[in-house]
Amino acid sequence: MIKIIRNFARRIFSGVFKKKGEIKLGFYGSPNAGKTSLANRICQDWLGEDLGSVSKMPHETRTIQVKEKVVLDRDGKKIEFKLIDTPGIATKIDFEDFMKFGLKRKAAQDRAKEATQGIIESIKWLDDMDAVIILIDSTMNPYSQVNITIIGNLVARNIPVLVVANKIDLKKSDIKKIQGAFPEYEVVGISAKNGDNMEEFYEALFKLVKKI
């Protein structure tokens, strides 16, 4: 309870003194949901450069990646973002899973260690966000406890959330299932890889920013 009050007070004061337009936008979700792909897509659209590397192997992003001064323009209104791409949050990590992707034992163990540290770092950053995009792989079961836990924490901290269902270009994608799992939230379906439906995403992002 004390923590919630402290966060609320911090948000009020930082809101008063914050430089207008600078918004810390976090990308959260399970590993391989497409957080870095979406962050890269936004950076490519507005800066012409990538933020981080992507891979089919889970836990490719193992440290927080930040891109500052990303200015988005919509109907003449400019908003400056600080994009914060976080490592995917998981409840378990087995180094042997990385060996299935061809890594040697030592390299897999090192990657697993970095991945656990990355998850701890992601959790610590939850307090520092102004708004968060929750990325969900629309080909997977959305009822994973990780998604529910992250959203629950953001709601408790009074941080606005936008749910994005990624990979809508794939056959197995089921956006209705995601909407059914999170009925209180607007769900935007995109393909970060192909850039599908990005206009609707930017519209929803500008709407999200108004809630801060």
Q: Which is nearer to another protein, 69 or 105 (CB)?
A: 105
Q: Which stretch binds another protein (CB under 8 A): 26-34, 52-60, 61-69, 87-95?
A: 87-95
Residue 6 within binding range of another protein, rule CB under 8 A:
no
Q: Which stretch binds another protein (CB under 8 A): 30-38, 54-62, 98-106, 119-127?
A: 119-127
- The answer to whether 64 and 122 have CB atoms below 8 angstroms apart is yes
**Residue recorded with tokens 């004061």:** 13
- 39: tokens are 């962050």
Total residues at interface with another protein (CB under 8 A):
29
Count of alpha carbons within 13 Å of 153, Cβ hemisphere only? 18
Using CB under 8 A, pick the residue from 63, 139, 153, 197 that binds another protein: 153
**Residue recorded with tokens 């870095």:** 36
- The answer to whether 191 and 164 have CB atoms below 8 angstroms apart is no
Provide the minimum distance between the beta carbon of 148 and another protein in the complex, in angstroms, as a whole number. Answer: 7
Q: How far apart are CA 111 and CA 155, in angstroms?
A: 31
Provide the minimum distance between the beta carbon of 112 and another protein in the complex, in angstroms, as a whole number. Answer: 7
DSSP 39-57: HHHHHHHHTSS-SS---SS
Residues that bind another protein (CB under 8 A): 3, 89-94, 112-113, 116-117, 119-120, 123, 126, 141, 143-146, 148-150, 152-153, 155-156, 180-181
